[in-house]
Amino acid sequence: MDLNKLSLVFKIIIIAIVYIIISLALRIMYKDIKGGDKKNRKRHRKSLGLEIINAGNNSNLRKGAVIPIHGEVNIGRKSGNFIVLDDPYASGYHARIFLKNNDCILEDLNSTNGTLLNGNRVNGRKYLNSGDEIVIGNTSFKVIG
């Protein structure tokens, strides 16, 4: 008789566990369909770009053109860069712009002649905002977005 009661208790526990698993799975599916938990939802990434203000001697850049910033944008004279500058004052790998935690960051890559942000030389990394002006050699960009 004790074995029958114990068997009944285990059956009830197993059924309860199955119901808990099903309810958790349904909850996850519901949140997935509705777009997730609003508290933990990531903010939308900033949509920033670089508008060319002064193209200098760069035949591949056109004044007024906009270059979108997605992930990482490397700027310099070497062909491995995303933006290749034909400028004697630009280093091979001069600067990079990248997104991190929904922020846009400019980093000078130890260039010889430096990178200017709003007229000030960049040392290390600087956060970018819409309207900022970046100067590399004879080429200048405006951050838009």
pLDDT in tens, 40-54: 545 555 578 999 999
Distance CA 84, CA 6 (A): 76
Q: Are residues 67 and 24 located together in one domain of the fold?
A: no
Q: Are residues 53 and 35 located together in one domain of the fold?
A: no
pLDDT reported for residue 47: 75
Q: Are residues 75 and 135 located together in one domain of the fold?
A: yes
Q: Are residues 34 and 78 located together in one domain of the fold?
A: no
Whole-prediction pTM:
0.67
Instruction: Tell me which residue range forms the domain holding 78.
Output: 49-144
What tens digit of pLDDT does each residue of 106-116 get?
999 999 999 99
Which residues, listed in sequence order, are joined to residue 54 by a DSSP beta bridge? Answer: 140
Q: Are residues 96 and 58 located together in one domain of the fold?
A: yes
Q: HSE on the CB side for 138, CA within 13 Å?
A: 12
Q: Are residues 61 and 36 located together in one domain of the fold?
A: no
**32 to 19, 24, 68, 109: CA distances (angstroms):** 20, 12, 30, 41
pLDDT reported for residue 48: 85
What CATH number is attached to the domain comprising 132? 2.60.200.20
Q: Are residues 23 and 53 located together in one domain of the fold?
A: no
Domains held by the chain: number: 2
The one-letter amino acid at 94: H
Task: Show the low-confidence residues of the chain (pLDDT under 50).
Answer: 41
DSSP, collapsed to helix, strand or coil, labels residue 43 as coil
pLDDT reported for residue 39: 55
pLDDT reported for residue 30: 87
